[in-house]
């Protein structure tokens, strides 16, 4: 993951791990979109396989997760 101070930089890639990656039974996440709900909480909607049903003919399912912005860098919560 790359963190930028503004749209023009400067940027660094010192994050320890990607924002979105396979975990537990969630495999191959992708297609992430950030959204904000009516109370103002940021979230991430993405699709992923549920292991062991990975690849064709299995379908990816929709998942959502909260985004925590308090540490100065986004982090997925749950």
40, part of any domain:
yes
Domain that holds residue 68: 19-77
Identify the pLDDT of residue 47. Answer: 96
Residue with the larger pLDDT of the pair 69 and 50 = 50
24, part of any domain:
yes
- Does position 15 have pLDDT exceeding 80, yes or no? no
32, part of any domain:
yes
Q: CA-to-CA distance for 40 and 54, rounded, in angstroms? A: 34
- Does position 75 have pLDDT exceeding 80, yes or no? yes
Q: CA-to-CA distance for 20 and 29, rounded, in angstroms? A: 7
7, part of any domain:
no
Mean of the per-residue pLDDT values for the chain? Answer: 86
Identify the pLDDT of residue 18. Answer: 76
10, part of any domain:
no
35, part of any domain:
yes
| Partner residues linked to 76 by β-bridges | 67
Task: Report the domain count for the chain.
Answer: 1
Tokens matching residue 38:
């009516």
In tens, the pLDDT along 52-66 reads 999 999 999 999 999
């Amino acid at each position: 993951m790359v963190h930028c101070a503004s749209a023009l930089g400067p940027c660094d890639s010192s994050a320890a791990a990607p924002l979105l990656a396979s975990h537990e039974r969630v495999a191959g996440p992708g297609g992430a979109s950030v959204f904000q709900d009516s109370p103002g909480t940021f979230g991430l909607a993405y699709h992923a396989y549920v292991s062991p049903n990975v690849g064709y003919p299995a379908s990816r399912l929709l998942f959502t997760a909260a985004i925590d912005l308090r540490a100065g860098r986004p982090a997925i919560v749950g």
